[in-house]
Amino acid sequence: MDSLVFKQDRPLDLIAIGRLCIDLNANETQRPMEETKTFTKYVGGSPANIAIGVSRLGMKAGFIGKVSDDQMGRFILQYLKENNIQADNIFTDKTGAVTGLAFTEIKSPTECSILMYRDNVADLKLDPREVSEEYIKQCKTLLVSGTALAKSPSREAVFLALEYARKHDVVVIFDLDYRPYTWESETDTAIYYHLAAEKCDVIIGTREEFDMIEKIRNFGDSDNLATAQRWFSYYAKLVVIKHGGGGSIAYTKDGDQFQCGIFKTNVLKTFGAGDSYASAFIYGLMNRFNVLESMRLGSAAASIVISKHSCSEAMPTLEEIQGFMDTADEVLATAN
Amino acid sequence: MDSLVFKQDRPLDLIAIGRLCIDLNANETQRPMEETKTFTKYVGGSPANIAIGVSRLGMKAGFIGKVSDDQMGRFILQYLKENNIQADNIFTDKTGAVTGLAFTEIKSPTECSILMYRDNVADLKLDPREVSEEYIKQCKTLLVSGTALAKSPSREAVFLALEYARKHDVVVIFDLDYRPYTWESETDTAIYYHLAAEKCDVIIGTREEFDMIEKIRNFGDSDNLATAQRWFSYYAKLVVIKHGGGGSIAYTKDGDQFQCGIFKTNVLKTFGAGDSYASAFIYGLMNRFNVLESMRLGSAAASIVISKHSCSEAMPTLEEIQGFMDTADEVLATAN
Amino acid sequence: MDSLVFKQDRPLDLIAIGRLCIDLNANETQRPMEETKTFTKYVGGSPANIAIGVSRLGMKAGFIGKVSDDQMGRFILQYLKENNIQADNIFTDKTGAVTGLAFTEIKSPTECSILMYRDNVADLKLDPREVSEEYIKQCKTLLVSGTALAKSPSREAVFLALEYARKHDVVVIFDLDYRPYTWESETDTAIYYHLAAEKCDVIIGTREEFDMIEKIRNFGDSDNLATAQRWFSYYAKLVVIKHGGGGSIAYTKDGDQFQCGIFKTNVLKTFGAGDSYASAFIYGLMNRFNVLESMRLGSAAASIVISKHSCSEAMPTLEEIQGFMDTADEVLATAN
Amino acid sequence: MDSLVFKQDRPLDLIAIGRLCIDLNANETQRPMEETKTFTKYVGGSPANIAIGVSRLGMKAGFIGKVSDDQMGRFILQYLKENNIQADNIFTDKTGAVTGLAFTEIKSPTECSILMYRDNVADLKLDPREVSEEYIKQCKTLLVSGTALAKSPSREAVFLALEYARKHDVVVIFDLDYRPYTWESETDTAIYYHLAAEKCDVIIGTREEFDMIEKIRNFGDSDNLATAQRWFSYYAKLVVIKHGGGGSIAYTKDGDQFQCGIFKTNVLKTFGAGDSYASAFIYGLMNRFNVLESMRLGSAAASIVISKHSCSEAMPTLEEIQGFMDTADEVLATAN
Q: What is the CATH number of the domain that holds B261?
A: 3.40.1190.20
Name the minimum distance, in Å, from the CA of C267 to any CA of chain D. Answer: 41
Hey, is A244 helix, strand or coil? helix
Q: Does C95 touch chain B (CB under 8 A)?
A: no
Q: Please give the residue of chain C at the shortest CA–CA distance from D152.
A: C188
Q: Does B234 touch chain A (CB under 8 A)?
A: no
pLDDT score recorded for residue B216: 83
> Contact D18/D76 with Cβ under 8 angstroms?
no
Q: Does A109 touch chain B (CB under 8 A)?
A: no
pLDDT score recorded for residue B117: 97
pLDDT score recorded for residue A47: 98
Enumerate the residues of chain D whose CB falls inside 8 A of the CB of residue C216.
128, 160
Is residue C215 pLDDT above 90, yes or no? no
Q: Does B122 touch chain C (CB under 8 A)?
A: no
| Triad A71, A73, A77: Cα angle to 5° | 115
- Touching, B vs C (3+ Cβ pairs under 8 A): yes
C-beta atoms of D128 and C195 within 8 A = no
Q: Does D215 touch chain C (CB under 8 A)?
A: no
C-beta atoms of A39 and D37 within 8 A = no
Residue A295 lies in a domain: yes
* Cβ neighbours, 10 Å, residue C76: 28
Pick out chain B residues at pLDDT < 50.
none
Q: Does B129 touch chain A (CB under 8 A)?
A: yes
C-beta atoms of C34 and B74 within 8 A = yes
Which among D129, D152, D195 has the least Cβ separation from residue C195? D195
C-beta atoms of D117 and A98 within 8 A = yes
pLDDT digits (tens, 9 = 90+) for D268-321: 988 999 999 999 999 999 999 999 999 999 999 999 999 998 999 999 999 999
pLDDT digits (tens, 9 = 90+) for C126-139: 999 999 999 999 99
Q: Please give the residue of chain D at the shortest CA–CA distance from C230.
A: D167
pLDDT score recorded for residue B1: 53
* Cβ neighbours, 10 Å, residue C226: 11
Q: Does A186 touch chain B (CB under 8 A)?
A: no
What string of DSSP letters covers C118-165? Answer: -TTBGGGG--GGG--HHHHTTEEEEEEEGGGGSSTTHHHHHHHHHHHH
- Touching, A vs C (3+ Cβ pairs under 8 A): no
Chains that touch B (3 or more CB pairs under 8 A): A, C
Residues paired with residue D13 on neighbouring β-strands, in sequence order: none
C-beta atoms of D184 and C160 within 8 A = no
Distance CA C57, CA D111 (A): 65
Q: Lowest mean pLDDT: which of C147-156, C279-288, D153-162, D174-183?
A: D174-183
Q: Does A198 touch chain B (CB under 8 A)?
A: no
pLDDT score recorded for residue A2: 52
Quote the domain boundaries for residue A298: 12-19+48-66+128-331
C-beta atoms of B119 and C115 within 8 A = no
Task: Report chain A's mean pLDDT, rounded to a whole number.
Answer: 95
Arithmetic mean of pLDDT, C24-34: 92
pLDDT score recorded for residue B111: 87
Q: In b/e form, how buried is each residue of B312-329, taking b as 16+ CB within 10 angstroms? A: bbbbbeeebbeebbeebe
C-beta atoms of C128 and D160 within 8 A = no
Residues paired with residue D106 on neighbouring β-strands, in sequence order: D112
Q: Does A34 touch chain D (CB under 8 A)?
A: yes
Q: Lowest mean pLDDT: which of A4-8, A13-17, A265-269?
A: A265-269
**ipTM greater than 0.90, yes or no?**
yes
Half-sphere exposure of D25 (CA within 13 A, CB side): 24
Question: What torsion do the CA atoms of C239, C242, C243, C248 make, to the nearest 10 degrees?
Answer: 80
Residue C147 lies in a domain: yes
pLDDT score recorded for residue D217: 82
Q: Does C234 touch chain D (CB under 8 A)?
A: no
pLDDT digits (tens, 9 = 90+) for B218-272: 776 779 999 999 999 999 999 999 999 999 999 999 999 999 999 999 999 889 9
Q: Please give the residue of chain D at the shortest CA–CA distance from A68.
A: D115
- Which residue, among C297, C301, C311, has the nearest Cα to C250 in the 3D structure? C297
Enumerate the residues of chain B whose CB falls inside 8 A of the CB of residue C39.
24, 38-39, 41
**% of chain D with per-residue pLDDT over 90:** 89
Encoded amino acid at C215, one letter: K
Name the minimum distance, in Å, from the CA of B117 to any CA of chain C. Answer: 7
Residue D112 lies in a domain: no
Which among A127, A163, A187 has the least Cβ separation from residue B128? A187
pLDDT score recorded for residue D53: 98
C-beta atoms of C119 and B115 within 8 A = no
Is residue D134 pLDDT above 90, yes or no? yes
Q: Does C114 touch chain B (CB under 8 A)?
A: no
Q: Please give the residue of chain C at the shortest CA–CA distance from B74.
A: C34
Which among C129, C187, C192 has the least Cβ separation from residue D187? C129
Is residue C19 pLDDT above 90, yes or no? yes
Distance CA D7, CA D140 (A): 5
Hey, is B277 helix, strand or coil? helix
Hey, is A38 helix, strand or coil? strand
Residue C214 lies in a domain: yes
Name the phi and psi angles at B294, rounded to 5: -65, -40
Chain centroid to CA D100: 16
Q: Please give the residue of chain B at the shortest CA–CA distance from A152.
A: B188
A238-242 and A248-252 beta bridge pairing: antiparallel
Which among B27, B40, B115 has the least Cβ separation from residue C72? B115
Residue C168 lies in a domain: yes
Contacts of A88 (CB under 8 A, 6+ apart): A62, A135
Secondary structure tally for chain B: helices H, strands E: 10, 15
Residue A112 lies in a domain: no
Residue D324 lies in a domain: yes
Name the minimum distance, in Å, from the CA of C119 to any CA of chain B. Answer: 6
Chain C residues 255-284 with a CB less than 8 Å from chain B: none
Q: Does C222 touch chain B (CB under 8 A)?
A: no
Please count the structural domains in chain B. Answer: 1
C-beta atoms of C40 and B41 within 8 A = no
Enumerate the residues of chain C whose CB falls inside 8 A of the CB of residue D163.
194
Q: Does A120 touch chain D (CB under 8 A)?
A: yes
Enumerate the residues of chain B whose CB falls inside 8 A of the CB of residue A154.
none
Using 50, 70 and 90 to split pLDDT, how confident is the model at D109? Answer: confident
State the count of interchain CB pairs (< 8 A) between B and C. 61
Residue C84 lies in a domain: no
Q: In b/e form, how buried is each residue of C98-135, taking b as 16+ CB within 10 angstroms? A: bbbbbbbbbeebeebbbbbbbbbbbbbbbbbebbebeb
Enumerate the residues of chain B whose CB falls inside 8 A of the CB of residue C34.
71, 74-75, 78
Using 50, 70 and 90 to split pLDDT, how confident is the model at D100? Answer: very high
Enumerate the residues of chain D whose CB falls inside 8 A of the CB of residue A70.
115
Q: Does A235 touch chain B (CB under 8 A)?
A: no
Enumerate the residues of chain B whose CB falls inside 8 A of the CB of residue C115.
70-72
Q: Is the full-model pTM beyond 0.80?
A: yes
Q: Does D159 touch chain C (CB under 8 A)?
A: yes
- Which residue, among D109, D35, D309, has the nearest Cα to A72 in the 3D structure? D35
Q: Does D24 touch chain A (CB under 8 A)?
A: yes
pLDDT score recorded for residue A215: 83
Enumerate the residues of chain A whose CB falls inside 8 A of the CB of residue B168.
none
Chain B residues 74-93 with a CB less than 8 Å from chain C: 74-75, 78
**% of chain D with per-residue pLDDT over 70:** 99
- Touching, D vs B (3+ Cβ pairs under 8 A): no
Enumerate the residues of chain C whose CB falls inside 8 A of the CB of residue B37.
40-41
E strands, chain B, are 12-17, 21-26, 38-44, 61-67, 90-92, 100-108, 111-117, 139-145, 171-175, 202-206, 238-242, 248-252, 257-260, 262-263, 330-331
Q: What is each CA distance from C330 to C247, C260, C298, in whole angstroms?
A: 10, 10, 13
C-beta atoms of B41 and C41 within 8 A = no
Which among A33, A103, A119 has the least Cβ separation from residue D120? A119
Is residue D2 pLDDT above 80, yes or no? no
Name the minimum distance, in Å, from the CA of C106 to any CA of chain B. Answer: 12
D38-44 and D21-26 beta bridge pairing: antiparallel
Higher pLDDT, D112 or D132: D132
